[in-house]
Amino acid sequence: MLGIFSNRLKDIYLHRRILRDMARSQIRAKYAGSRLGIWWAVIIPLILAACINLIFTAVFGIKVPNYTIFVLAGIIPWLFFANALTEITNSFITNTSVLRQGIFPREIVPISLGISNLLNFLIGFAIILPIFIIVDLRVAGLLLFLLIVIALQFIFMLGLGLFLSCANVFLRDIAHFLSIGLMIWFWITPVFYSLEMLSFPYRWICLLNPMTYYITCYREILFGAQMPSLVNMGIAFLISITSFAIGYIYFIKKEPSLLKRI
């Protein structure tokens, strides 16, 4: 199996120009005709963070210092994950004509969408990042750890995306279930609350949620201005590797019959 993975990754590398061009064109298509363009990657999380801050501080009376920053540290990576996963899940259905050309590894289609969303996320995040640094200068010294967390989340999302994009070809309801699933998933992910705010057994729901560990790592760096705990980083690493392996293996098994179902 390792040999198969190695060969597939080498094949993707040989077609890296196609991968780059597809990712670039997808970014351009996303903001085609938009006056604000990439600024939407900044505006949306800021508006959501402000709304959540208003509701939970003014209405529910949550007393967390710098609560807007607290929420922002969780909402930005969540939006990246949710938007990217939705697009990747539909990638084989919406790119049928490209897939039928057969001149490149077919997994390049969902991977290119993942990369385009990653670049969109990084550009928007780079604009917002100074806010966290102004609040606490120690964040500037933790950027390396931040990049590691982003990479781990990307690998997790890509593995899950490969699985869902393939499954969506054989069961078209997957995309509809995903929109509902992400809605539920958002509420059980500690985006606008922390694990410490939950009592047992409710905390176990979050502990079984893989996104909890990525969001917690982001928050430890951006809000807590400290290194993410080794436990959270270790669990996030294992989840990422497992997700990617399962997603890619499933894709390889289903690839021979993929075009017949599109």
Q: Which three-class secondary structure state does DSSP give residue 224?
A: coil
Tokens of 242: 């497992």
The pLDDT value recorded for residue 61 is 65
DSSP per-residue letters across 167-219: HHHH-TTHHHHHHHHHHHHHHTSSSSS-GGGPPTTHHHHHHT-HHHHHHHHHH
Q: Are 152 and 238 in contact (CB under 8 A)?
A: no
Residue 209 has phi, psi (to 5 degrees) of -90, 115
- Residue 124 CA to residue 126 CA, distance in Å, equals 5
Q: pLDDT per residue over 180-222, tens digit each? A: 999 999 999 999 888 888 887 888 888 999 999 999 999 999 9
Over the chain (262 residues), the average pLDDT of each successive run of 10 is 74 84 81 67 75 68 78 90 94 80 82 92 87 90 95 96 93 89 93 84 88 96 93 96 94 83 69
Q: What angle do CA 39, 45, 51 make, to 5 degrees?
A: 130
Domain boundaries of the chain, sorted by first residue:
37-261
Of the candidates 166, 129, 182, 161, the one whose C-alpha atom is nearest the C-alpha of residue 243 is 161
Q: What is the pLDDT of residue 46?
A: 77
Measure the CA–CA gap between 219 and 68, rounded to whole angstroms: 12
The confidence score (pLDDT) of residue 194 equals: 85
Q: What per-residue confidence (pLDDT) applies to 59?
A: 62
How much is the pLDDT for 2?
64
Give the C-alpha distances (Å, rounded to integers) separating 148 from 152, 155, 233, 234, 237. 6, 11, 9, 12, 10
Residue 27: which of 110, 107, 120, 95 has the closest Cα?
Answer: 120
